Structure 1
Amino acid sequence: MKSHLSINDRHKKIWQPAIKAAALVLVATGYGCSTFQSDKLVSVPDSNQGKTFHSIADITCQPLALMPGKDTARVVINEQTARLQLPSGLTPVLAYKIPEQGVHKIGIDSFVVRHSGQSTAGSGDNELFYPEIALLNKDNVMTSKVDPHHVSYKKPGFTSEEGVGTSFTIDNRGSVADKPSCLLIYTTDDLRKGTTTLTSEEKEYAKARGVVPNPGPDPVARHGNTGHLTIAMKSDGLVAVNPAIVPAVTNHQTSATLAPRQFAEPASLTLDKHTREIRNHYLNGVKSALDQGNVTAALDQRAELKSVTADAEHYFLNNYGKSKAVIQSVGKNAGGSFADKARQLYKERISDYLKQGKGSAALQMLDEVKALQADVDRLFDR
């Protein structure tokens, strides 16, 4: 159920005593489903990258880079992301322009980054950027904050990743003096002290099959400074300041729809003989094990793929935005297993794209690794 949130008395006292209640309406709509885009993009530089802002007043608010015809942008938070100096220390910070006129629905989703890939991993293996969300006026004065209680957890699904998020509406119609003009996303020391309890896939699978799940604690994600976000901004009415538009490659193709129980291969320049081999290995291996009733073997292969996916994402997050000279060397993988070879190949491809300045291609490579994981997950829903 939707609830209407005006700027409450606490926020008025803390941030701006002179604010009028009519200046802003935030309509909390809970966690909205949002998925990463797989379209190949041309990157728009982040002008704040590498900067440290010593106060909110110093922050430069930039356009949110959206695709043509889309209302969602994908954002990577790593050590290259701008920092904001808070009394307790530095925090990654993102700042995006809000159109001056119209009604704008904003959704922010932050997804779990799995450094180990194991669903039973401890708090040190899964990381989540837990967002603090605030709005600034044209003078960079903080006018309100989204209630932390409206940032909620979402279980993983076949079309959405596990994480937290929120959505709200900003009404910028009329001529109110303190209209929100900048969306600020950051985190705090208090938030970094926390963890988010995640879904135990083994327990969920056992419940679905009507058996008693193995005892043990649920996995958790520690809150940190690394993350994958999607930010959606959909506007109705007159829009005076448009988000930046990221031009799409004109020859992008979409995957053909295949018959049930067939596997659609993403149409992409990054899929070749070797990546297809990895895809077929895990899809056919898990399907064969399930067809034979060997659920344990199927789960083991899925867990192995999760580890490969997590390693690829971890490498991407730690190198995206860096200069060619400081991108981590992939090196030679000493392991001889199929999973080791898959890790090596994915990281080499991502590394090559990043060194060529093709951040969008590296993102697409990571998306295809995750698409394989999603296709394997679907095999268990039968």
Structure 2
Amino acid sequence: MSAVAWTAVGSLTVWMWLLLGQGFFWRTDQRLPSRADPARWPSVAVVVPARDEAEVLPMSLPSLLAQDYPGEAEVFLVDDCSGDGTGGLARALSERYGGLPLTVVTPGEPEPGWTGKLWALRHGMELARRRKPEFLLLTDADIAHEPDSLRELVAAAGSQDGFDLVSQMARLRVTSTWERLVVPAFVYFFGQLYPFRRVNGKGSRTAAAAGGCVLLRAGAVERARIPESIRSAVIDDVSLARAVRRGGGRIWLGLADRVDSVRPYPRLADLWHMVARSAYAQLRHSPALLAGTVLGLGLVYVAPPVTLAAGLLTGDPVAAAAGGAAWAVMAGTYMPMLGYYRQSLWLAPLLPFTAVLYLLMTVDSAVRHYRGLGAAWKGRTYARPEAAPEP
């Protein structure tokens, strides 16, 4: 066979393994597990780190304050040195909408060795723990919750022998053309790296969470020393889940039906920055892993359409057949995610194009790192951030 045919066959082989051997990552049926309501609803403290979030706070904070929760609950919003009046706006929204009690605190700039979000979480969690809550809900300032969200999360966690961490990946906004092309693929690639079924399996070593919505049992927080044990992590959600699992905790991760991100990413530049700021940290700042990722993405996502076209043009039936089959499997595994996001299934064949964008974003993330720009976010730059610290 020709080199093109061997490449096509290799890509098809990888896709058959991804289809059947990677925890069925492409399925979208990992939803919040249903449990019976507890006899007594435990107390919950909701901690919201917020830095310059005045644009989205009116769409998210009222949904938290309006939670229909039968037990004791209150909200702690940490104004992380915002320059747009986030803290004052939060107080005004609380006065306007009422609902759960709201406390706003400003901790000041982070100490060396801390990322801004985890520094904010530290102060919010310390304040919340004075109330001795049984659960902590960590949720981002751009996340809107349906009125029964907190009730459903706590019920899913179950009793003392239930889950120590329950996390839902909020449904991201998909409105602009670039959001339609990039956002569903972002969640698809995340699931490929961290198959939800494996994360949720007993005894599994795979650990991950979605930082926008994480319910934690207070005892697990103490055992895992959160957030101190992960204070420098840029990819804080995966680091948090690993810390809980190392502490002997059970974790669950799935897709959300009633938890949504209201943050817009209308331009490609917005989405590019979202991915590039932490992509190289995910690769542990390793040039070898970066090279392997580039080659892997090329073989898995770019090779199928290229080898199909080459096979048709040169009259190589093996290359054309294997390349076409690999592309078909790829598109088929992407369709469930497109369905979850209520997008046209005709976007599935465009996944190779989107993968090339992610490849370029990852390379750009490495370039930024070596230029000393690191993970820049809202006016802060972490020149040498950690991805997910090991013990």
TM range (shorter): under 0.3
Which TM-score applies when normalising by structure 1? Answer: 0.24
Q: Give the TM-score, by structure 2 length.
A: 0.23
Higher strand share: 1
